Amino acid sequence: MALKIFWTKRAEKNFSQILNYLSEEWGENVAKAFARKVYEFLEILSEFPEIGTIENKEKEIRGFTITRQVNLFYRITNNKVILLNFFDNRQNPKKKRF
């Protein structure tokens, strides 16, 4: 049974910022390709939620590398997947927030 995907405000904001950056710096086609890759991954994630590696055992946060530059962090709770954050790996790792 596929789990429902829920986006936090932070995940929505960071996803939007990444899409804007890609569109401005690399063009609309690159931004669309990234968005398509994310949504295809979310379909897989809803079917196989434990696909990501455990990033924080106490908070039960998992992570998955979408591209070399972007990781997605999420949590599985009550038959749903909550997207916590999209993190650009080129940033200072201390900025990584769940």
pLDDT tens-digit series, residues 28-74: 999 999 999 999 999 999 999 999 999 999 999 999 999 999 999 99
Residue bearing tokens 């429902």: 4
Is the separation of the CB atoms in 81 and 4 below 8 Å? yes
Q: What is the mean pLDDT of the chain?
A: 91
Report d(CA 94, CA 15) in Å as an integer: 19
Give me the pLDDT at residue 90, please. Answer: 75
Residues 6+ apart with CB under 8 A from 41: 64, 66, 72
pLDDT tens-digit series, residues 17-29: 999 999 999 999 9
What token pair was written down for 58?
A: 């106490």
Classify domain 4-87 by CATH number. 3.30.2310.20
